[in-house]
């Protein structure tokens, strides 16, 4: 008998929406997800899963055992919110000033709990186990590593799945593609040191503000003049700090930003050119400078075989027309740490409405009331079908070289 995951997800529609709105009203920042974790653990206990709490500080894991021996499949959802104010008058808006589920993790958690409920009802058909991982602190790229350090991969899963609500994709569609789909992310900090003085006497100073400004401009030449047009890379300066007084030239300036790449060779090239520009421009203007680069996450790379299983599951549950075009984004995700060791598929579940215009090119917005049903149903059907198929067929090694290139350790470089 074939399981109709679309119908089962539709039957859980009200439960998913109610849970998501409850999580949305009570957002919790990275490693503070105590209330959310408690609700998740209680729900998993109620389904008869083996539950472990406090994994990676505030993470939760639930293990669903099948009726026969087989592989372990990992299903992951993130739980944390962002430190932003919600400008929304919906009845389920955030009740905590300065905190909001602005990236859809409330929906991810609600959908994963529904998937656990659907699969628990069919455990007698499962060969193997499904390991549900409810992860903290995705927004600061710390939760995945913390959970792995606490044994989240000790069961050696054969395949892994995750979803993200994605407003650029129309509601009712699920975008799935193989290979690298989300970029590796780095943070950089450049510090420029000169000698300060009075703003009216600049000739008596070595002005780090002028040097920092020139560095910002020069850095923008790296991607356009050093990276091949066929490669993707981003170098953005997001923060500049210098001085306090309007008429005082400070002794130091600092700028920080992010690198995004898909290929390690391109990342190495960017860092090499940054080092040359930061130190060289500063020296040309009589200053000294240092550069630090901190690796945050490796790329998210979808395994071809696991991705094929996910596409088949979505097509079977929602119809072939529900499969959207592959999304390839320079946004980063620490699901990459799981997928560097476990072949997986990261899916983008549409939550967008083509009739609406988003004022800012921000990360995908939360699901809104009018489109909650289809987005939740798409996530539940794709998640559930993909996990069950993988539990019965297993997986294969991850994308070539990803585990070797992108081990789970942060790397700090200084010049």
User: Which pair of tokens denotes residue 412?
Assistant: 């700090």
User: Which pair of tokens denotes residue 164?
Assistant: 């993200």
Q: Specify which residues 160 forms β-bridges with.
A: 74, 344
Classify each residue of 246-281 as buried b or exposed e, where b means 16 or more C-beta atoms within 10 Å of its C-beta.
eeebbbbbbbbbbbbbbbbebbebbbebbbebbbeb
Strand residue runs (E) in 298-386: 300-302, 323-324, 344-352
Q: Specify which residues 293 forms β-bridges with.
A: 188, 413
d(CA 49, CA 69): 17
Sign of CA dihedral 305, 309, 312, 314: negative
Largest CA distance in the chain: 84
Q: Is there a catalytic annotation at residue 154?
A: no
Q: Is there a catalytic annotation at residue 275?
A: no
User: Which pair of tokens denotes residue 281?
Assistant: 């421009």
Measuring CA to CA, how many Å separate 390 from each of 13, 47, 139, 394?
24, 21, 28, 5
Ordered DSSP codes for 176-243: ---EEEE-EEEEEEEEEE-B-EETT-GGGSB-HHHHHHHHHHHHHHHHHHHS-TTS-EEEEEEEEEE-
Q: Specify which residues 174 forms β-bridges with.
A: 323, 349
Catalytic residue selected from 8, 86, 138, 275 = 138
Classify each residue of 173-182 as buried b or exposed e, where b means 16 or more C-beta atoms within 10 Å of its C-beta.
bbbbbbebbb
Catalytic residue selected from 8, 33, 78, 80 = 80
Q: Which residues are catalytic?
A: 80, 138
């Amino acid at each position: 008998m074939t399981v109709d995951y679309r119908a089962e997800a539709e039957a859980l529609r009200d439960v998913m929406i109610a849970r998501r709105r409850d999580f949305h009203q009570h957002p919790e920042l990275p490693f503070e997800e105590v209330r959310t974790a408690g609700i998740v653990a209680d729900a998993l206990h109620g389904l008869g899963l083996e539950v472990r709490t406090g994994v990676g500080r505030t993470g939760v894991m639930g293990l669903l055992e099948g009726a026969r021996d087989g592989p372990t499949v990992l299903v992951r959802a993130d739980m944390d919110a962002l430190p932003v104010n919600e400008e929304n008058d919906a009845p389920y808006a955030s009740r905590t000033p300065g905190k909001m589920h602005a990236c859809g993790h409330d929906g991810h958690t609600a959908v994963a709990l529904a998937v656990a409920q659907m699969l628990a009802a069919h455990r007698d058909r499962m060969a193997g186990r499904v390991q549900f991982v409810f992860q903290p602190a995705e927004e600061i790229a710390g939760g995945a590593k913390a959970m792995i350090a606490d044994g989240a991969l000790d069961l050696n899963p054969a395949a892994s799945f995750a979803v993200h609500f994605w407003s650029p994709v129309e509601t009712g569609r699920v975008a799935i593609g193989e290979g690298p789909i989300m970029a590796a992310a780095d943070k950089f900090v450049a510090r420029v040191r000169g000698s300060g003085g009075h703003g009216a006497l600049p000739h008596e100073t070595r002005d780090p503000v002028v040097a920092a400004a020139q560095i910002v401009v020069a850095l923008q030449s790296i991607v356009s003049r050093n990276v091949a047009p066929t490669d993707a890379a981003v170098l953005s300066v997001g923060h500049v700090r210098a001085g306090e007084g309007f008429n005082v030239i400070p002794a130091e300036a600092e700028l920080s930003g992010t690198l995004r790449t898909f290929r390690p060779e391109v990342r190495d090239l960017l860092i090499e050119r940054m080092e040359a520009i930061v130190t060289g421009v500063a020296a040309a203007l009589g200053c000294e400078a240092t550069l630090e680069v901190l690796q945050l996450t490796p790329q998210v790379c979808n395994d071809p075989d696991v991705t094929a299983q996910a596409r088949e599951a979505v097509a079977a549950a929602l119809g072939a027309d529900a499969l959207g075009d592959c999304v390839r984004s320079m946004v980063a995700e620490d699901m990459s740490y799981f997928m560097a060791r476990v072949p997986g598929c990261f899916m983008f579940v549409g939550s967008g409405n083509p009739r609406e215009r988003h004022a800012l090119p921000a990360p995908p917005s939360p699901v809104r009331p009018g489109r909650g049903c289809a987005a939740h149903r798409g996530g539940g059907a794709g998640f559930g079908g993909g996990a069950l198929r993988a539990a019965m067929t297993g997986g294969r090694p991850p994308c070539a070289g990803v585990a070797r290139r992108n081990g789970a350790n942060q790397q700090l470089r200084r010049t």
